[in-house]
Amino acid sequence: MTKAATQMTAQIIDGTRIGREIREEVRLDVEALKRQGVQPGLAAVLVGDNPASQVYVRNKIKACENLGIYSREIRLPGETTTQELLSTVEALNRDEAIDGVLVQLPLPRQIDEPAILLAVSPQKDVDGLHPVNAGNLALGRKALTPCTPTGVLEILRREHIALAGSRVVVVGRSNLVGKPQLLLLLQEHATVTICHSRTRHLPQVCREADILVAAIGRPGFVTAEFVKPGAVVIDVGINRVSGDLLKGILAADPSLVTQYEKNHAENKEFVLTGDVNFSSVASVASAITPVPGGVGPLTIAMLMKNTVQAARLRRGQ
């Protein structure tokens, strides 16, 4: 065992456990709705044959089946046009059996992605990406919110990590994570700074955080120099590292060696890692989410929760 591994002091936050808790709550909510004659329904639209997208959609459909949510998977060929996909989305908007419409991203290049996201009914936008939902979130109104940043909030709440008055730094400004994360944390009365690739003196800014949320999309980018001793670190990143980069990432983060050895034995020459160098940061943080097993399990759990919420909102509940 390396010196870096033996120095780990941070509590490891179990996102898998929290995800199970939320799914059980959703299952009970679904049962309650069924007693009222309502079965929440989710439609997942997959265009093309992207292997990762196929896995994501399969996992979402399986989660629906396990929780009693009606699900429908719609597969379209890779050469589908924008107009053809719009027609599919519009039909789902009108379908009373469907409460949530999810168009799996990324879409093939020939499709106008913003036009598709805009076409999904805000009432059925369980990804929380429609401008109406984004605007309501910004104004502090009731809205369907993006699953991953909402999952981060659930982790912090369920781990009893104080948000009101805390200094939070979010690294990353994407529409999917960074921006909605900022707004969700503001609603909890946190003081929030959002950083990105052009932020000057980035490590120094991050070291001011009581809670650091890393969502920049660069494997192992956040190291101990970014973290104030005792801070809570939430790693939103999920990066598949292989090829020439693999040797360097293993040397930089010894915590990945066990995962690599297991994958290597199965002829898988890659590791999954977050945006945080786990070995480095775990030696100074008070708590940290691992990758995998941290934020990831919350994303699908919150999608299920959003589907139930959409079913209720559509019926005025």
As annotated, the active-site residues are 60, 104, 127
Instruction: Considering only the C-alpha atoms of the chain, give the largest distance between any 2 of them, rounded to a whole number of Å.
Output: 59
Gap between the Cα atoms of 315 and 157, Å rounded: 28
- Calpha distance 71→219 (Å, rounded): 34
State the sign of the Cα–Cα–Cα–Cα dihedral 130, 132, 136, 138: positive
CB atoms within 10 A of CB 176: 18
Q: Give the other-Cβ count within 10 Å of 81's Cβ.
A: 13
Strands (E), 196-254: 211-214, 232-235, 239-242
At residue 240, the 3 state secondary structure works out as strand
Q: Are 275 and 216 in contact (CB under 8 A)?
A: yes
Q: How far apart are the first and last CA of the chain?
A: 54
Tell me how crowded residue 106 is: count the other CB atoms within 10 A of its CB. 12
| Whether 193 contacts 168, CB under 8 Å | yes
